[in-house]
Structure 1
């Protein structure tokens, strides 16, 4: 149902309501004279990424539908700090919203990374059935218990691929001993240790320099991010492993979110969730053309037999170990969509 919010309803709703991030309490007369709610949304991606393009559209739509009352300001490219910095600021209320991957969020909400268990999802049909279904609901419930609010629709970060400077990755054996950058996440570290690699946790903002200075030989990210931060300048090979699908949750401080009037929540959720769904389609379209564009910039691509990697993880006990860490209930929800793993 389309929501039409009139100025009168906003005046009534905002009367003496504390506003998250603003430090203000607006009485009805102040709002009637043009007062606004200014909210901060931060992320670590460049403005050119589909996430920020769609977030900007959502911000405009929110402002339009609220008749200028809500101004969602976007701070991209890590302007507010690293992922871990921004998460701390959201929890403290210094930032109102952020988008964060399940990898980093798992340091606070362990089950948030379950959708990124290695070599689980084969395609997007499996991904969105799970994330728009019981698996996504299970994760959001856990996020809520940690004092955060997650929008219903998860945003796409894409299937991750491995880039390297020395040699391509064709088999699990090619990862043995390789120094590879991974996010600050126990799951990622565990995955590559299962292949006898040497994973190093480095924040996203430092990936380029770590590769440039040879602190690590390789890294893994979706093609959109490989292109966005110009990793083709410091990497030679791109192995299409699709080893992990990763997402972004659009998060808010739960206390701050709950202080917003219900009609404001409805408008914001509607447009932000729609933006998330549109971003998913954008990323698929982008990735279909990026391989050719990145190849033209010097990256050498190769495809791998993912079944060999999944078998290696089963033999190593990787799935069995993580099924215990996530718990039988969460693991059962995952296997509902991915099939038997351990």
Structure 2
């Protein structure tokens, strides 16, 4: 009888576990970096999965889809709006194509360092941008982590000042503001979706591109690029986005778990990416690239050429309100 009782108990536990798994809320989490712990987005995603499933006792089943498995940026943004993708860590370009005010963050040569950039994005400015995005798109932005300080690379010649950009064919993200940035410096710009970038470089469709150290290494772009110029033109972002319809379907404890675990993931993501940016010269030299330093005087030349043109474009697209708010946030940080 005791044996039978134990068997019945074990069967009941298995049945309850199976029932719990069947009723768990599925959270499809998309990102585009490789499924490798050296990839900041994937390391952060795995931390989020463990954190959420632990805090909710498995009532949320996090399923991670790395390396653009669910599609490119446009497809993921559409999926978030339709609810076919519940969550994503996605970069600036595709976000700006759906929610235009996000393009204000493409303003070049604006932030001095990560401390300034994080403070602005974690403060009133970042909160206001997220609230407006939710209202306009139905996509909830929990916050941002680093997509890396963007630098120019190419396979033709060293670039140390704007005049060196003349004649280069540069890949940019699929949002018009990036075309304006590159063309203001004298190069021609070709929008190419992220999954297609390595092939475009290998085949010579474009001469170069602009990205942070993490993405250059993660996608092995260094295999097709000889020169990298450390101009640091834009602090690029990955936003932690969720379908608001999915978020509202969660109970209060599950919502709290998601919010807490995003904060943990964001911190991991920022730290890994910022460390790679800080060691850009060593990392990229080791990969065989020729690192071209850009002096403060040369960076000022880039700023003078690019910032007015990009600002004019952004104001033409979204008005002056968001650019003015961003300028004010930067000035408030400097005044501390």
Which stretch of the first structure deviates more once superposed, 248-257 or 213-222?
Answer: 248-257
Equivalent-residue separation in structure 2 for 1:144 and 1:192 (angstroms):
30
Equivalent-residue separation in structure 2 for 1:204 and 1:30 (angstroms):
39
The residue that corresponds to 2:4 in the other structure is none
The residue that corresponds to 1:162 in the other structure is 152
Equivalent-residue separation in structure 1 for 2:130 and 2:118 (angstroms):
15
Q: CA deviation at 1:182?
A: 0.2
For the structure 1 residues 30 and 47, does the alpha-carbon distance in structure 2 shift closer, same or farther, using more than 3 Å as the test? Answer: closer
The residue that corresponds to 2:299 in the other structure is 306
The residue that corresponds to 1:40 in the other structure is 28
Q: Deviations over 1:178-219 (max 9, x none)?
A: 100000011101111112211000001111110111000000
Q: CA deviation at 1:276?
A: 0.5
For the structure 1 residues 38 and 175, does the alpha-carbon distance in structure 2 shift closer, same or farther, using more than 3 Å as the test? Answer: same
Alignment of 1:135-174 (within 5 A): 135-174=125-164
Q: CA deviation at 1:338?
A: 3.4
For the structure 1 residues 164 and 29, does the alpha-carbon distance in structure 2 shift closer, same or farther, using more than 3 Å as the test? Answer: closer
The residue that corresponds to 1:203 in the other structure is 193
Give the TM-score normalised by structure 2: 0.87
The residue that corresponds to 1:328 in the other structure is 320
Q: CA deviation at 1:172?
A: 0.8
Structure 2 counterpart SS, 1:146: helix
Structure 1 counterpart SS, 2:23: coil
Alignment of 1:253-292 (within 5 A): 253-292=243-282
Ranges in structure 2 where 5+ consecutive residues have no aligned partner: 1-15
For the structure 1 residues 35 and 286, does the alpha-carbon distance in structure 2 shift closer, same or farther, using more than 3 Å as the test? Answer: same
Equivalent-residue separation in structure 1 for 2:81 and 2:227 (angstroms):
39
Q: Is 1:338 aligned to 2:330, yes or no? A: yes
Which stretch of the first structure deviates more once superposed, 139-148 or 55-64?
Answer: 139-148
Equivalent-residue separation in structure 2 for 1:33 and 1:238 (angstroms):
48
**Contact 2:99–2:133 (CA<8 Å) still a contact in 1?**
yes
Equivalent-residue separation in structure 2 for 1:120 and 1:326 (angstroms):
18
Q: CA deviation at 1:33?
A: 8.2
Equivalent-residue separation in structure 2 for 1:241 and 1:248 (angstroms):
20
Alignment of 1:103-122 (within 5 A): 103-122=93-112
* Aligned partner (choices 22, 47, 50) of residue 40 of structure 2: 50
The residue that corresponds to 2:182 in the other structure is 192
Number of residue pairs matched? 312
Equivalent-residue separation in structure 1 for 2:261 and 2:141 (angstroms):
10
Flag the structure with higher helix content. 2
Aligned-pair RMSD on alpha carbons?
A: 2.1
The residue that corresponds to 2:283 in the other structure is 293
Equivalent-residue separation in structure 1 for 2:202 and 2:161 (angstroms):
25
Q: Is 1:247 aligned to 2:246, yes or no? A: no
Equivalent-residue separation in structure 2 for 1:149 and 1:86 (angstroms):
11
Equivalent-residue separation in structure 1 for 2:147 and 2:223 (angstroms):
21
Give the TM-score normalised by structure 1: 0.86
For the structure 1 residues 302 and 70, does the alpha-carbon distance in structure 2 shift closer, same or farther, using more than 3 Å as the test? Answer: same
The residue that corresponds to 1:7 in the other structure is none
Equivalent-residue separation in structure 2 for 1:100 and 1:139 (angstroms):
16
Equivalent-residue separation in structure 1 for 2:330 and 2:29 (angstroms):
33
Q: CA deviation at 1:31?
A: 5.9
**Contact 2:147–2:238 (CA<8 Å) still a contact in 1?**
yes
Equivalent-residue separation in structure 2 for 1:321 and 1:151 (angstroms):
24
Structure 2 counterpart SS, 1:152: strand
Equivalent-residue separation in structure 1 for 2:62 and 2:105 (angstroms):
29
